Amino acid sequence: MSENLLTVKDLKTYFFTASGVSKAVDGVSFTLKKGETMGIVGESGSGKSVTASSIIRLLPPKIGRIVEGTIDFEGKDIIKLNKKELLNFRGKDIAVIFQDPMTSLDPVFKIGNQMVEMICAHQDVSKEEARKMAVEALKKVGIPQPEKRMESYPYELSGGMCQRVIIAMAVCCKPKMVIADEPTTALDVTVQAQVLELLQELQDEMDTSILLITHNLGVVWKMCDTVMVLYAGKTVEYADTKTLYAQPLHPYTWGLLDSMPKLSDTVKGELNTIPGVPPDLRLTGNCCNFYNRCPYAQERCGKEVPELVEVEPGHFVACHRQNKENKLVRGEENRNE
């Protein structure tokens, strides 16, 4: 087993809005090892992106705040970093790839200049050296005519090309970790596959860890070593990918996996969904967040917040009905009621 790179423990990030405190992230814990890829899945609003923003401390000023928990990156607590240390941390230790490549580059500066700017911000090199490194990186991510592309503006490139540029920029500073926040959502399906392959190649080459945020379970299966399932700001299940797909334990995970359309579904009809809607994040925190949608809910689920427990080595789940002694089986009758 390789060593831990990032350990997040009981992270809570709240948004203090005029209409109340929104608990966007309310108890997220996971560990990312060196060179591994972890997926974060969950529906919109489950706190995936806020978790990522918390890790790089880029929450909306004033409104968003980390109220509890620790983020340990190679022994240093990210939450305690000062402004200057943060600048060195962002971009250099952790690079982020955002969802929409077209809005992740500054539209009014040439691509080359933006890359050189970032390289010079983190490495002690001259502008000429930085330019060479940028061209090299563009070549590496498969951009044709990299010298020419250095002089292009972002709008002159397609979405897939922009995402390649962003990946090139991310890897220029050889980060230890890359956060990819739905890196393929805004791209065509064929381009999605190329971008994911590119990420994997670079990971193999540089031994980078990747935190992949997505709501595409197929992508998780292909890319990730471990998966964390988020629901309403909380980690509900966390395991290595194979285990999670083979023996999912949380009723929400079951619902997610069932919602995935399969090629083997011969009968045409409605797609599976989880009935109901996620709770209002201003009102959570008193019971299991999935209580009102869970077909297996019991009285206790409506009263107590379930702890995240390790039911099997490396397999964590937060559900009152799942523990070491007594496991809930999928499809089982709700006989305790």
Secondary structure (3-state) at 78: helix
Stretch that binds other proteins, among 151-159, 228-236, 300-308, 311-319 (CB under 8 A): 151-159
* 38-77 binders of other proteins (CB under 8 A): 56, 58, 60
Of positions 136, 156, 205, 265, contacts other proteins by CB under 8 A: 156
Q: What is the CB neighbour count within 10 angstroms for residue 45?
A: 17
Give, as ranges, the residues between 80 and 99 that touch other proteins (CB under 8 A). 83, 86-92, 95-96, 98
140 binds other proteins (CB under 8 A): no
The Cα–Cα gap between 131 and 127 comes to: 6
Q: Which is nearer to other proteins, 25 or 179 (CB)?
A: 179
Residue 123 binds to other proteins (criterion: CB under 8 A): no
Q: Which of residues 228-287 bind other proteins (CB under 8 A)?
A: none
| Per-residue DSSP letter, 2 | P
Site for other proteins contains 16 (CB under 8 A): no
Residue 122 in the binding site for other proteins (CB under 8 A)? yes
DSSP 8-state class, residue 272? P
Q: Write out the binding residues for other proteins, residues 175-234 only, by CB under 8 A.
A: none
* Interaction of residue 168 with other proteins, rule CB under 8 A: no
Residues 281, 24 contacting (CB under 8 angstroms): yes
* Terminal C-alpha separation, the chain: 43
- Closest by CA position to 309, among listed 318, 300, 320, 297: 318
Q: How far is CA 284 from CA 9, 141, 172, 317, in A?
A: 19, 43, 41, 18
Alpha helix (H) residue ranges in 42-143:
48-55, 83-89, 111-122, 127-140
In the complex, the residues that contact other proteins under the rule CB under 8 A are 56, 58, 60, 83, 86-92, 95-96, 98, 100, 103-109, 117-118, 121-122, 153, 155-156, 166, 169
